Chains A and B, each alone.
Chain A
Amino acid sequence: ELKVEQNPLFLSMQEGKNYTIYCNYSTTSDRLYWYRQDPGKSLESLFVLLSNGAVKQEGRLMASLDTKARLSTLHITAAVHDLSATYFCAVHPTNAGGTSYGKLTFGQGTILTVHP
Chain B
Amino acid sequence: DARVTQTPRHKVTEMGQEVTMRCQPILGHNTVFWYRQTMMQGLELLAYFRNRAPLDDSGMPKDRFSAEMPDATLATLKIQPSEPRDSAVYFCASGFTPVRLFFGEGSRLTVL
Contacts and interface: CB of A to CB of B under 8 A. Distances in A.
A104 interface: yes
Q: Is the interface of B mostly helix, strand, loop or mixed?
A: strand
Contacts of B50: 102
Interface residues of A, number: 22
A31 B56 CA distance: 19
A31 B98 contact: yes
Contacts, number: 52
Interface stretch (B20-28, B62-70, B101-109): B101-109
Q: Is the interface of A mostly helix, strand, loop or mixed?
A: strand
B43 A106 contact: yes
Contacts of A88: 43
Contacts of A108: 42
A103 interface: yes
A45 interface: yes
Contacts of B112: none
Contacts of B12: none
Nearest to B33: A104
Most central of A33, A43, A48 by chain B CB within 10 Å: A43
A106 B103 CA distance: 13
A101 B104 CA distance: 22
A42 B98 contact: no
A45 B102 contact: yes
B48 A102 contact: yes
B48 A42 contact: no
Interface of B: 31, 33, 35, 42-43, 45, 48, 50, 55-56, 91, 93, 97-106
Given A88-B43, A106-B43, 11 more contacts: A42-B105, A43-B91, A43-B93, A50-B98, A103-B48, A103-B55, A104-B45, A106-B42, A106-B45, A107-B42, A108-B42
Nearest 10 Cβ contacts at the A-B interface: A106-B43, A102-B97, A43-B103, A100-B98, A45-B100, A42-B103, A48-B100, A31-B98, A42-B105, A92-B98
